[in-house]
Chain A
Amino acid sequence: MRAMDKFAFTHMGRIHYLEAGSGPVLMLMHSNGASAHEYEFVVDQLAEKYRVIAWDMPGQGDSDNPPRFYSAHDYADSIVALMDALGVAKASVAGSSVGGSIAIALGARHAARMERVFIVEYPVRNEKVWSEGWARTEKMWTNTPQTMEIVGPRLRPGKTTAEFLERWNIDRNKAGAKNCLNAMWAMRLHDVESDLRTLSAPAMVIYGSKGPAVATKAVMAEKLPGAPQVVLDDCGHFPMIDDPQAFCAAIDKGFELKAQS
């Protein structure tokens, strides 16, 4: 199966996305400095059961730049604009890292449009933690092209081929330092506690056992009681790349959660 590469015209700009399959709609939201390509190892399998729509978030991939700073809520509104442009009334969404922040915002701000929310590799951080680590964050996101030495250890051995690294850096360069750092600001400024309190759609939280988010699993469990938390073995911050089969199985499991009526 080959995903179709398309643009949608929305009032929040032109949004580029990949689409494949049919069935219940699953919107996939990538992590920072990436694009819909982040899900290329799982799209075909997911498309056997779902209508998969993987976007390039505004400012990244081939989507238009935001006209101003976009908060997590603005990105959430952009997903809803994309849904409206495509005639999608309700959808399940899966977002990784900054995509997880957007997924949480969607679950709170647009709950009526969400069937299920998958929060993938999203570390819950307070302002103190963000502030203390911000110098490192700036450094990571303003030096956009990365070397094999930096990227290799973030994925399972053997995953970071030269071809993969080229794709990785194409996406980082497309997004550029400013959009990447702004996406990090969107995460930092996101009032996650408040949104998690009001998130009413069925939710599942997915971690990689070696990723940075699993350390905040207990905090997430406290803030989102009742949401299943799944830890994927031997996966880092990018479980959809490290172990596509396990990632798809987790999504399938999540679809067993009763959709929001």
Chain B
Amino acid sequence: MEFGLFSNNRRPDRSLGEAWDRDIFEIVAADKLGFQEAWISEHQTPAELIISKAAAQTSRIRLGAGVRPLGYYHPLQIALEANAADQITHGRYMLGIGHGFHARQMEWRGRDPADTRAMVEASARLILKLWNSDGPVDYDGPYWTGKQMILQCPPVQKPHPPMAIACINTLGSVQLAGALNLIVLTGDFIPLARLKLFGDTLVAAQIAAGHNPSRKMIRSTRVIYVAENDKQAREDMRESYEATIKWEIENTPHHQVERIPPGGSLRDITYDYLVDTGNLFIGGPETVRKRVEHHFEASGGFGVMNFHAGRDYATPEKLARSMKLFMDEVAPKIRHLDPDAGAARAAAE
């Protein structure tokens, strides 16, 4: 298992410039500590702008767009910008793709939200074709056309940077990931049972498409915070996460439904409930180790455990300390977890 960040910027009390600087501070801290990758949301503007600034302050960590809404752009533009980002990061770029957050963001661009899913698949296939083609590409599709398209800027990584797709509710994106051999990105709110279903669906789709089946392609995300002990960790996060819950219930209630306690309502989703039930991985090193191990086993496994980041969950320095405690005291005990080990054993037998 490797470790990463899902930098999902939302810091409503700050200017965007300051908020992005704080996101980059977390990414720089993760880079120093040996995290493998960071995925950066495209909320207001292409993640590649932030990736470019983060690349200048980091040396090892891989930097991914998390994710580019493909319905907004011509696929040639996405591929070109991906290659440019791969150059500017010296081969550390990853292209995450997805549908976008609000249907109205498609409408703003004169697009029909009903076409989103089909556009994502068509664009992904065309981007891969552009990346894998030796010569100019002609395309005449329902959403875009292009004549003699070439990528004037080549990527560093060969044949091309890794591609990932955001998977939230339905299995369509997971099946596409399996068919095209993409990384599966999942958010912090994805329930355990759905993550397991995603894994099983991915492996089936990988096999059906003739790819090597591997759950290492799955990125799981959770809110993770480690302090010296459980009590300190719980109190460090209380104020900010209580505000987060309030915002999420008001703005993304559809993502919260599966967090509702049995027999309760949205109002019953409290900070202590989420910590106690392991929805949030908050505690001392031993508690967090148990949380991640359980999450890994019950979900069928995944390749990278991402910290949900880009939020003012605590001060930047406390969050950096949490990451360091995790890498010093938790990671060495769980890094050996291999989601494909069981399948490999079964195949050997």
Residues on A facing B (Cβ under 8 Å): 8-11, 80-85, 87
Contacts and interface: CB of A to CB of B under 8 A. Distances in A.
5 contacts: A11-B22, A11-B25, A81-B315, A84-B321, A85-B321
A235 to B, nearest CB: 35
A71 B8 CA distance: 30
Given A81-B315, A84-B315, A9 B320 contact: yes
B29 interface: yes
B32 A84 contact: no
Interface of B is mostly: helix
Contacts of A80: 315
B107 interface: no
A11 B321 contact: no
Contact of B228 (A8, A11, A85, A87): A87
Interface in B23-41: 25, 29, 32
B20 to A, nearest CB: 12
B200 interface: no
Contacts of A8: 317
- Top 7 nearest A-B pairs (CB, nearest first) are A84-B317, A11-B316, A85-B317, A11-B25, A84-B315, A84-B318, A81-B317
Contacts of A81: 315-317
A8 B318 CA distance: 12
Interface residues of B, number: 12
A11 B21 contact: yes
Contacts of B320: 9, 85
Given A84-B321, A85-B321, A87-B228, A9 B315 contact: no
Contacts of B316: 10-11, 81, 84
Nearest to B228: A87
Contact of B32 (A9, A10, A11, A83): A9
A180 to B, nearest CB: 26
Nearest to B22: A11
Residue picked from A81, A82, A84, most chain B C-beta under 10 Å? A84
A8 B321 CA distance: 11
A11 B318 CA distance: 11
B56 to A, nearest CB: 14
A10 B318 CA distance: 10
A10 to B, nearest CB: 5
Contacts of B321: 84-85, 87
A82 B21 CA distance: 18
Contact of A9 (B22, B29, B228): B29
A87 B22 CA distance: 19
Contacts of A85: 317, 320-321
Contacts of A9: 29, 32, 317, 320
Contacts of A11: 21-22, 25, 315-317
Interface in B307-331: 315-318, 320-321
A10 B29 CA distance: 9
Contacts of B228: 87
Nearest to A85: B317
Interface in B283-328: 315-318, 320-321
A82 B315 CA distance: 11
A8 B315 CA distance: 14
A82 B316 CA distance: 11
Contacts of A84: 315-318, 321
A182 B32 CA distance: 31
Contacts of B318: 84
A9 B27 CA distance: 13
Interface in B181-216: none
Interface string B201-239: 000000000000000000000000000100000000000
A72 to B, nearest CB: 19
Contacts of B317: 8-11, 81-85
Given A11-B21, A81-B316, A84-B318, 6 more contacts: A8-B317, A10-B317, A84-B316, A84-B321, A85-B320, A85-B321
A84 B318 CA distance: 6
Residue picked from A9, A81, A82, most chain B C-beta under 10 Å? A9
Residue picked from B25, B315, B321, most chain A C-beta under 10 Å? B315
A68 B318 CA distance: 23
Nearest to B25: A11
A188 B318 CA distance: 32
A85 B22 CA distance: 15
